[in-house]
Amino acid sequence: MTEQKQEAKEEKSQAQLDYEAGQEFLKNLEPAQAANAFHNALIAFELEGNENGVANAADKLGDICAARGDVATALSHYDRVYGICQKHTDRFSLFSIEKKKAKLMYDAKEYDQAVILYLEVLDEYSALRNPQGSVDTLEILAEIYLAKGEKSKAADAYRTAASIHQSFKHSRHAEQFLQKAAEVEKD
């Protein structure tokens, strides 16, 4: 059994080993070590010509940069991943990156850009017929509009979330959103 494990380990490239080490560092809450391992993996995946590996390592580096507030570097990593996913028409990975970029802009208080990105996310949830994702996104949009001082747009977002709940006969949830809309407009 140990011989098989050893053979399996030998089959992994150095890039893959570095990537897995980065995941372990992340699990152990060591982001600096993780970033170093993912960076090494990224370079090795590039040398191998492994685009999926490059995308995975760049995605992890983007997440680490986003967590520490390095918006520009996070965006550059996410944009790289996005380009690879577009090339392979990987719609679900593209959507994942769109959500990460929207959150990054929101966290960075780049509200105008966050609104644009979250509206795209909302469109995608609508296309996927995912009402919960739509409602969650509308709540985030309402928060952004409130941060921007655009109370009427925030109230509209809450009312739209309420109408989604009403269409599924979730009257209690719908009422909560209508109440939020009324409170926003009252202030």
Q: What is the pLDDT of residues 39-91, one digit of tens each?
A: 999 999 999 999 999 999 999 999 999 999 999 999 999 999 999 999 999 99
Residue 166 lies in a domain: yes
Domain count across the chain: 2
Are 119 and 98 within one domain?
no
Question: Which range is least confidently modeled, 28-32, 46-50, 132-136, 165-169?
Answer: 165-169
- What is the chain's mean pLDDT, rounded? 94
Range of the domain at 169: 109-187
Half-sphere exposure of 98 (CA within 13 A, CB side): 20
Within a domain: residue 2?
A: no
The pLDDT value given to residue 170: 84
Q: What is the per-residue pLDDT for 140?
A: 98
- Kindly write down the DSSP assignment for every residue of 97-165, as one continuous string: HHHHHHHHHHHTT-HHHHHHHHHHHHHHHHHTT-HHHHHHHHHHHHHHHHHTT-HHHHHHHHHHHHHHH
Q: Decide if 132 is inside a domain.
A: yes
pLDDT at 1 over 50: no
- Residue 5 resides in a domain: no
Which residue, 55, 74, 108, sits at the end of a domain? Answer: 108
pLDDT for residue 169? 87
pTM score above 0.95: no
CATH code at position 94:
1.25.40.10
Q: What is the mean pLDDT of residues 147-176?
A: 94
Q: Are residues 103 and 160 in the same domain?
A: no
63, part of any domain: yes
- Do 21 and 83 fall into the same domain? yes
* Same domain membership, residue 76 and residue 158: no
Q: In this structure, are 128 and 174 located in the same domain? A: yes
Residue 137, pLDDT > 90, answer yes
Rounded Cα–Cα distance for residues 19 and 60 (Å) = 9
Q: Which of 108, 140, 174 is the last residue of a domain?
A: 108
Q: Are both 85 and 152 inside the same structural domain?
A: no
